[in-house]
Amino acid sequence: MLEIKPEDRVAKTAEYFKKVKTFLHTYLLKKIGSRVIQLMFKWGDQDVKTTIYKSILQHWKDLIKSKYALHTISKVSAEFEFPRLV
């Protein structure tokens, strides 16, 4: 995604996000998947960010067991609040 021009990143992010949206929480458990989701969160529009946030809220018990997902959770928590998590 770094080879993509900055003005095209939002559109490409939305296009790629449609492909991984169905299995987002399992993708977050993997090393490369977590990095890709972090980039999508960084360059995505508000809809992409909200969907990632909702997926983390829904599957947080499984995600906190993965060291790779924790990096993504920390990035998302900088922008969104996690009200039910201690």
Tens digit of each residue's pLDDT (9 = 90 or more) over 16-40: 889 888 889 899 999 999 999 999 9
Helix, strand, coil shares, percent, the chain, to 5: 75, 0, 25
Decide if 1 contacts 43 (C-beta within 8 A). yes
Q: 84 falls in which pLDDT band (50, 70, 90)?
A: low
Task: Calculate mean pLDDT across residues 50-76.
Answer: 92
pLDDT of residue 83: 75
Model-level pTM? 0.85
Task: Kindly report, residue by residue over 59-69, the tens digit of the pLDDT.
Answer: 988 999 999 99
Domain boundaries, the chain: 9-77
